[in-house]
Structure formats: structure tokens, C-alpha cells
Structure 1
């Protein structure tokens, strides 16, 4: 099928109404990535760079795109789109510093090749997982629509990467929401060494687009004029009539997926056939034969480009190797933000349930931040699975309270795209368990993007969580520990209505990524008087909810209520420390309670093995050993999935075992 898919017709250029200046500009733009490629392959053989992803033979796609779009329209490229970066006039010395892992590169040596973005140049780079950038493009395009900006966003993917679920989710959301996105598939016949017929069971992507209700156009990706004309015409039309379009660019990769992989898996005759369709050589021949370019101009232009490349390389090579600074590394995890606590304006309070406190905070944050967008399944007219956003659509409108398709990854990615354009996003997981479908976006995009190239992710993900309601293995998990291990995230987990409102407001204020856990069993079972006005609580600050002398219980979420009930029932005089914030957790508060009582137990609803309690107990053992009068203990749920039957679930949860441990700790 590969031979049938990949066109072998000659490259035919039509000058049309293009000026000579435009045609020569396209030629120069084509030459720059080709000459950089030539140089990089030499440097690779000399051992001066360690890796190279070649776009040789595919340059016309990038150049056609970058020359056709406005400079302030976002492009989201991939490995083989060097021409996007050079076409946006990124200084070559900085680009080369990026390739070499130097400090002046866009990622300060923290990431390689094209894994970076630049807001200045309206580029958002990829991550190695290939698919997630499609959803980011959706978010950027959504921001344009919400701001009434007549702009297009263009995102690249490969034919191999189209097998990713993110491809489907990205296209589906764009189609449903009629977002002004151009999805460009570089159809080069292979995903690394896997040919197209082993990736999908269709010939062309023009067969796939209609399934999404989306126009699809197929172009010769080796013809820079055809590519340029297609994107120029299409983008002009989409700015007037916003909608997504899928563009399939037929091309061929003339070198390995990356240089070390080679091309032995490609039939020799296929390489020979496609070498005749070289996008640079054929376009150059057209210009020479048309009299638009002559040999003298050609030689001069090539010499100028080579000189620019060599000068930039000299600057990049002269820069010293990056010197590690641990303080800077940790500081760059998050966008700089200094929290200022907001107190309620009046003393007026109302009795509110846990669920009402969350809804109250969310509504007041929507009032405070007109750029805050809510997204989630069924959060519109239905008001969400737990009715937290009931009435929100009527109050704030469907633009800001957005029902989403069933595609967690795309919606989280769209939240990141919104934040790139200065919006805030709240994404509701119908159940916290379902976040696993969006796991990659959280741990590899939201958590790492500021550390990598300085872009913040102003996204809060609400996570209805926890057991005790006989909901079984897929609606009851405590999965906060999945994310506790991931640098670059902040995690809050309130245990009371007062904390629920104040911590949610604080999370929404902070322009960094948050996971906000809310226990389902507390929604309608717990009430207290809380301020009617907007207020925030300090992130990273634990709360001593009970004071005693015998021992310390460190816990969070539902564990706070189990601990309160246990000490009252058993007559134990204990400190109960509610962490409230899991990342960052309150080291000083933990140390203070350990020093006070000398006996400590950590209680978590999560399974015992690999939970947050293990980490904090290890820290206590290492840093507070001389303060202890007994071994540090911990208790959690059984190391099994959450069972459905109430008797099994009761046995799964740690309540009874925790009471036994309390007695053991007190009598030690």
C-alpha cells in the first residue's frame, strides 16, 4: 500500500499571480533549513551534536505553511518542521544553542531539539508523545473565538502519530466546537520504520476527515507553491468562516526517523523515485528555467545563508556548557506567583454543605475572572454529575461553561492552549478515576511546560474522588499519589466546606497547574457556616484541627473525619493535622506536631503501598528521629482495587485497622 499511497507524479509549479519577489522569498526560505540540515549531518558525524531528526525532503510543507500564515498566528510543529522555526526568524545562534543544550537555548539545556516553544514567535513545540499538541491547538483556537480574533491556528501531526488517541480527540473537539484550526498531516509513508498499511486501513486522510464532519484537502507536500497557495487560501477563508480543516500533505522522508535509525527498511526503488521529487532541487530548477533566478544570484544566496549558519554556530559553540544551579532548577518549576490572602469583606456567614461551598467558590471566581473558562462533561444544562455547576450556563453563558465530548485528554490540552492565550481554565473530571485518560497531558504537558520553556499552565482540574459510597473500582479510587510524584503540579485536598471554598479560590487565582480533590462522600453529608464573600486560604499551609498531647495523627480529606471520630470514641488526646495541601506539603507543621507529641501515625484513604503517607513518614524518620518516642506508623486502605459490595468496601477502608494502630501507638 505504501507505493500506492505515495504519489510519484512529477512536481509541476504554476507561477500564477505570484510576484517574482514572493517566489524568491519562498526559495530562500527553503534553502535555510536545507543548508542547516547539511551542516547538522556533518556535525553529527564529527560528534559535535548527539542527535538529529531530519526533515530532508519535507521542507516544502513547513515553508509553505510559515510563509502563508500571519506572523502572529500560532503554529505547533513537530520533529521535521525546522522550516517553521527558521521561517519565523528565530535567531540561528539561539536555535543552535537549543540543539546543543546550552543555557541561551529556549529550554536552558533542559530539553532538546524542537521540544520548545516561543510565545514571541507564536510557536508551541511538541513533546515526544506526538499527539497532545493537537488539543493545545484547539485551546488556542478557542481563545481566538472567545476573544473575537479572526485568526487561524495550525498544528502538525504525522501519519504515524495519527494512530494516537489524541489525534481523534483533537479533531473531534475542533469539529464539534467549530474551531479555526488547520490540522496538517505530513503523510510520508512511515512511522519510524512502520509503513502506513500497518498504521491504518485507509489510503488517504481525505477519507478520514468527513467522519469528523470536517473538510479535507490533499496536496503535494513536495510542491512549495501548491502548499503555500493551499494554506494561504484556506487560512483567509477560515478567518471569515471559522472551522477546522484537515490538510493531507503527501511527501516522503528521505532520511531516518532520526539519523541513528537509518533507512534500510525502505525499498531502494522507493528512495530513488522520491529523490526525483526533491522539493528544493525541483523548485530551484523551476526558478532557473523561468528566468526568475540566475546562477549568480543562486550562488550568492547560498553563500550568504551558509555564512549566517556558520556565524551562528560559532556563537553557539563558544558558549560554555550549562552550569547547574539547583535553586534555579527548583524555582523554574512554577510560574512566579506570590499569593496574597484575600479575607471576606463582611462577617456574614451561611450554613453550606461541602458541595455548595465548592459551587459558591467556583461561581465567585467566575465573577472575579472573566477570562475563566469551565469545561467538562455534562457541566452545562445538566449542571455536572454532582450538580456543582447547576445554573452556571444560564448565568455565565455557553462560551464560558462548556459541555465537552468524552475526551479528557483533549479538554485538558485545550485548557493549556487557553492559558497560552492568557485565559484561565477549570476542567471537571466527572469522576477523578477518569483522569487516567488525560494522564499524559497532566504529567508531561501541564507539569513540565514552565520548567521546559517558561510557559505557564493556568489550569485547575477538579477531581471528585474517594470511596465509601459503594461505587466500585472505577468511581472510588484515591489517585492523588499518581500526581504527588510529579514535579510541577500543585495538589489540594480540602476536608471541610470552609477549606473547600477558600482553597478552590486560591487554586484558581494561581496561574500554575492544580489538581483539586473533592471527596464525594462529603458533598452532602458535611455542613458548616462559611463566609458568603469571596476569600482564599494559604496554599501549602496545614491546619491543626484538634490538639492533644498523647500522639499526632497526620492526615487529609476523609481521613480527618475518621481521625476525629476515632479519638473521640477511644478517648485519645491527640493532635490531628490536616495537610489540606499535598503539594507543596507543610514541612514545618509536620515537624511541629512530631516535636510536640513524639508519637506519629499517618492516615490515608489511598492504598497503603506507594501512598503519600509513605513519603511523609520517611521524611519524619530522617529529619525528626531524635524527637520520636515510638516508631512512625501509617495506615491506609488494602492494596486492592476498591470493591463494590458495602461489606467488602468497609473491609477495604482503613477505619478499623487505624483504631487498632492508634492503641498500639499510644501504648508503645
Structure 2
């Protein structure tokens, strides 16, 4: 460290020293407590504090930062009380995640920190979304996302940087390059000379700096932040540093040559900054010692407060209630009956719902591949870009993971997002963001994820194995998501509006075969169809068909062709949460139940529904519950093979088996 004070006066330099020293002393205390068994795990950032502290202080307090598990300095620089942080690390209910998350896997809207998930890379795209929100609101702000050098090998790194560059987002990607990921050295991670060199490939600026020089980090990040806001561009900053402890304490450091520790000990950020302050006569040795003792006393006082915290009081009801954010009443009609209506096709109902939602809520953004001028693969969004502008109807690169992550980032700033998957099949490359980031974030730290993912789904159109899958069951297994699947134009619009208004992530399945094949009366004004409530299609006392989506159409057509059977047809409409009371009522009416769905048999919705009926409705049954589903094969391309694959092929046999029982 030289003698460049970066224009800072003595008081500012002293404050930086306290901010740098505080997390170091906390860490040293945590290592003692770890050995005493008072905390269970610790990811040490000793040797890297200058990056977290310098970068955080360079940002404004109301700008989102997305740190990782070695960034204690982010949390302390945002003035989060150590007592509550310690309760978090101990898994206490008074911690930020109420005992539901570990160490730094949490966030806090109050302090504008978005907690990481273990998969690391997805957080970068969330920063894109926060930066997009700033851009849309024309606020002079930037978002900051941390990554390690190992994380730059992930596809999410590529996707997030590409989206930020293409959309000209004011976001800073900060890479802490400590040389080792967990234990794998950089020469086994990448072949470029510097990670900052990767920036050029995305059309953005990048720089490599000394991550152990506090003033360099602070001054560089201040300048980068101003650049991002002024030019509305992203920036990549690589900070060279070294981790003086293991990836976490149990992993040790045997994989690192001993000579490196001796070398980097001389580059310790606290030591370097103290030497600078002494040289500049900002502080003397006695003042440094006084500051150290004062911070140690503060740490002991903060830790003493944790004794007032109670241990866990386990409540199953509280845990279940924490999975979802509670919806706020929208004030819209909650049923379609009685409203002035016009005959519309399924696809037109969805488009009208999107258009009216955009009119009603200016915070809503729609994102997806080819959805702007082209109107989407199925023309659902045709004309919306012309009416609402391309800022709100956003074409995306082909990067499903980053776009779902960006949608979550918009939620951090209170905005809503609808993401269109071109085909439901393609959601697999955004799976992690959905099941680990979107689904769990409210349970983890009570952050809403107001995101709807539209899923054109289903077969019957000769599109083959990668454009015809029914994959709704993948998501029903994930707490925190809601899964809806309409079968009528009226429900398509009403459920879509309800999904957009819901503060939780919703997977909205739209069967491609229904887009232009069915029509029905659709109310002209905005309304909601309640999520979680099934629809009774018809009542009868011979046989119940519990179904959804295209299965409803199959059931109705079969019932019309067999008037001698009194069918009780239940359209689930929502698959998560299920309307169990409606299912039970149908079982009671007939005593014979067929669960029908287009998805493959094994592990599909039919298995869950059948099991529930067996557990809760056994006394009402006059026959075993049967499942009618598609073959346990990929969806074939040949139309004759596809018809043989689909559940409709076996519907007649299943009905006859039940009726003859």
C-alpha cells in the first residue's frame, strides 16, 4: 500500500480502519467459539476482509448487495447487529432466518442484502434483476454481486454477465480470486490469464485489482459504481486475494503450499492498512491498540446479549405457514360468473389477461425469448410490445436460468415479473433458480418472489420428446411454489390474473393443444379465479374423474359419448396446493375414482392423489383408485405413436374396469 489517501481525510480513514478490523476480530472470536462447540460451522474470510468492507462502503445503503459465505464484512458494514448475526449462526429463532438457514444463507430487505444459496452462481442473475428495477425506475443506483473465482466456471456466470451486457444494466460483478475455490487451484478452473479478461467477451469493461488493499478496493468500487450509473453499463472487477483458512474450518489447508501462507501473511489487509495509517500519522500504536480493545469489548457485549435469546420453540403450524407469503386482497372479483363476457379462444384469454394486468400494474414486466415484435412462439404476446414498449415486454437471450433469476431480482425491488418459457420442456435449464431460489426464499428470510412462469406444455401436436413433455409433477414436489393448470379460457384468464397478484412464485401451465382448439365465454373485465380451488365440471354418482388440463377435455368428450354413465368430473385447476376437500366430496358422491392426466404414470400427480384418497377416503371407496396416464416413455414424434403414448388411448379401458368392478 502506497501513500495515496484517495482524497479521504483522517476521520474517514479511521472509520475505514474500524470497519476493516471489526469483522477480523469477530472472525477470530468465532474460531474460538467453533473450537468450544458453540457454533457448528464457519467459513472464514480472514485475509479477504478488504474486499467485502471496501466494496460495501463504496455502495449506497439502499443498493442491493448479493454476498457469499465469506463476506462477513458486507453484513457488518451494513451495521447489522452482531448479537442477531450470532443468533443466526447458532440457528436460533431470534436470528434472521429463525433457525431455518445456516450462517450467511439469508438476506434482509431492511439492509438490502440478498442471501446466497449454496449453488453460488444463480445470485449473479438476481443482481441483474435488481439493476433492471433501478433502470426501469430511472433511479441512480447499481447492484453488486459477489462471486468466487470457482463460481466463474458456472453457466450462471456466463448467463448473468451476458444479460447484464445486452440489457445495459448498472450491475457490478465482483470476483474474489483467492486461487483455490474449495481446493481446486485456478489452473484447473480456467485458462485465461485473468478473470477480468472475460469481460471483453461480453462487451463490458473489466479490471483486476489488489483485493488486499482496502483503499484500492474502496476507491475502485466507488468509481465503478459511478461508471455503471452514468453509462448504464455493467462492470467486472476481479480482486486478487488469498484465503488464510480452509474453505471451511473442517476442510483444512493441506492442499495449499506452505510458502503461500508466508507470502500472503505479509499482504494481510489489516496489517497493510495499519502500516499505512502509521506512516500517514493518522493513528499511532496506542490508538490502534485502543481501537482494537474497544472493538473486542463491543464484540463481547454483543455476544452477551445472545444469552437472552431462547432456544427453538418448534411449531409445525408456524413452519408450514412460513412457506408462502400471505396474498393481499386485490379487490378484483373472485369468480367469472355473472360478469359481462365475450366468447374467446384459450390463447386470446391469456393474452387479454396479460394486457389488462400490464395496464393495471405498471410494475409488471414480461420477459421471454422472442416475445416482443415476434409475439412469442405461440403468438400469445403479439402486439404487447407495440402497446407497452420493449422495456416492459423484454426479449431475452437464450438463458432461462438468468431470466428466472432476474425476475426474482425484480421482486427484491417490489416489482412483478412474468417469464415465458418458449416450451415447458426448456424449463429444465432454469430448474435450479425455480426450485432453490424462488421456492425457498420466503421460508428462508420472508422475501417475496412475485414471479409467474408461463409454461406452454403438453403433447398431441407431433412435436417430439423435447417440445411435448408434461412436467408439472417436477414442481409439485417443491414447497414454496404454486402450480396451476387451467382447462378453460375463463380459468386461463382468471388464474393468470390471480397468479400475477399472488406474492409467491407460480408455475402457470398452458396446454398448447388448447390454445386455438377451444373457446368459451371470458369476462371482459379483470377478475381472479382463486388459486387452490377445484372446479366441478359435472356431478354424477357412477364414477369420479379427477383431472386437469387436457384431461378435462378428454373426460368431457368421453362423458358426452357415454350418456349411460353418470360421471362426476372434477377439474383440479391448481395442483399445488391441491383442493383436497373437493376431491373428498367427489369420492363420496361416487365411490369409484379414476385419476386422469397426460403426464407419464410413474411419479405423476395421479400417484399423489391416489395415495391421498387411499389414506383419507378409504371408507368411501367401492373400488381401487385407478390411474389413467401416458406411457412411461419419452413423447414420440410420429403422430400415431404419440396417440398410442397419450393417456386418452387407455381411458376407455380404465372406465370399463372401474364400472365392472
| Greater than 6 Å deviation, 4+ residue runs | none
Counterparts in 2 of 1:394 and 1:148: CA distance versus 1, 3 Å: same
Match of 2:603 among 599, 602, 610: 610
* 272 and 389 in structure 1: CA distance in 2 versus 1, 3 angstrom threshold: same
Instruction: Please tell me whether the aligned partners of residues 491 and 529 of structure 2 are also in contact (alpha carbons under 8 angstroms).
Output: yes
What's 1:172 paired with? Answer: 162
Aligned length: 658
TM-score (norm 1): 0.97
Q: For 2:276, what is the secondary structure of its paired residue?
A: helix
Other-structure match for 1:435: 427
Alignment correspondent of 1:623:
616
Q: For 1:512, which of 481, 504, 509 is the aligned residue?
A: 504
Q: Please, which moves more after superposition, 11-20 or 141-150?
A: 11-20
Shift of 1:348: 3.3
SS of residue paired to 1:14: coil
Question: Hey, what's the Cα distance between the residues in 2 that align with 1:549 and 1:69?
Answer: 66
Spell out the pairing of 1:284-303 with structure 2 (5 A cutoff): 284-303=274-293
Equivalent residue for 1:276, pick from 261, 266, 270: 266
1:121 aligns to what SS in structure 2?
A: coil
Report deviation, 1:344. Answer: 6.6
1:242-257 equivalences in 2 (<5 Å): 242-257=232-247
CA RMSD of aligned residues (A): 1.2
TM-score calculated relative to the size of structure 2: 0.98
Is it true that 1:479 corresponds to 2:471 in the alignment?
yes
1:89-238 alignment, distance < 5 Å: 89-238=79-228
What is the DSSP-based 3-state SS (H/G/I as helix, E as strand, rest coil) of the residue aligned with 1:156? strand
Deviation digits for residues 238-273 of structure 1 (CA, Å, limit 9, x no counterpart)? 222211000010111111001100110001111211
Q: Match for residue 5 of structure 1?
A: none
1:297 deviates by: 1.3
Report the equivalent of 2:381. 389
Give 1:89 deviation, angstroms. Answer: 0.3
Relative distance call for 1:322 and 1:528 in structure 2 (3 A) is: same
SS of structure 1 residue aligned to 2:208:
strand
* Separation (CA, whole Å) in 1 of partners of 2:35 and 2:338: 70
Q: What residue in structure 2 maps to residue 8 of structure 1?
A: none
Q: Aligned partners of 2:604, 2:487: CA distance in 1, in Å?
A: 18
**SS of equivalent residue, structure 1 residue 190:** coil
8 Å Cα contact 1:156-1:183 kept in structure 2 = yes
Query: What is the CA distance between 1:347 and its match in structure 2?
Result: 4.4
What is the CA–CA distance in structure 1 between the aligned matches of 2:229 and 2:188, rounded to whole Å?
37
Q: 1:638 aligns with which of 613, 631, 652?
A: 631
Contact 2:547 2:572 in 1 (8 A): yes
Measured in 1, the distance between the counterparts of 2:307 and 2:465 equals 55
Contact 1:13 1:225 in 2 (8 A): no
Cα deviation for residue 290 of structure 1 reads 2.2
Aligned to 1:492, which of 484, 492, 502? 484
CA distance in 1, matches of 2:337, 2:416: 24
1:356 match: 348
- Aligned counterparts of 1:135 and 1:16: Cα–Cα separation in 2: 32
User: In the alignment, which residue of structure 1 is the partner of 2:650?
Assistant: 657
Q: Distance in 2 between matches of 1:266 and 1:77?
A: 25
Contact 2:336 2:494 in 1 (8 A): no
Asked if residue 378 in structure 1 is aligned to residue 361 in structure 2, the reply is: no
Q: 1:337 aligned to 2:330?
A: no
- CA shift, 1:16, in A, is 4.0
CA distance in 1 between partners of 2:643 and 2:337 (Å): 43
Give a deviation string over 1:345-378, Cα, whole Å, max 9, x none.
9843222111111101111111111110000000
| Structure 2 residue corresponding to 1:534, chosen from 526, 531, 534 | 526
Q: How many angstroms does 1:402 deviate by?
A: 0.4
Determine the C-alpha separation between the residues in 2 that align with 1:13 and 1:357: 67
**Could you tell me how far 1:338 is from its partner in structure 2?**
4.5
CA–CA separation in structure 1 for the residues paired with 2:353 and 2:220: 47
- Once residues 267 and 70 of structure 2 are traced to their aligned partners in structure 1, the CA distance between those partners, rounded to angstroms, is 17
> Displacement of 1:481 after TM fit?
0.3
Render the CA deviation track for 1:596-630: whole Å, top value 9, x for unaligned.
Answer: 11111100110100011111111100111111111
Asked if the contact 1:345/1:533 (under 8 Å) is kept, the reply is: no
- Asked whether the equivalents of residues 353 and 526 of structure 2 are also in contact (C-alpha less than 8 Å), the reply is yes
| Residue 341 (structure 1) shift | 5.1
Alpha-carbon distance in 1 for matches of 2:49, 2:436: 28
Deviation of 1:333 after TM superposition, in Å, equals: 1.0
CA shift for structure 1 position 12 = 3.5
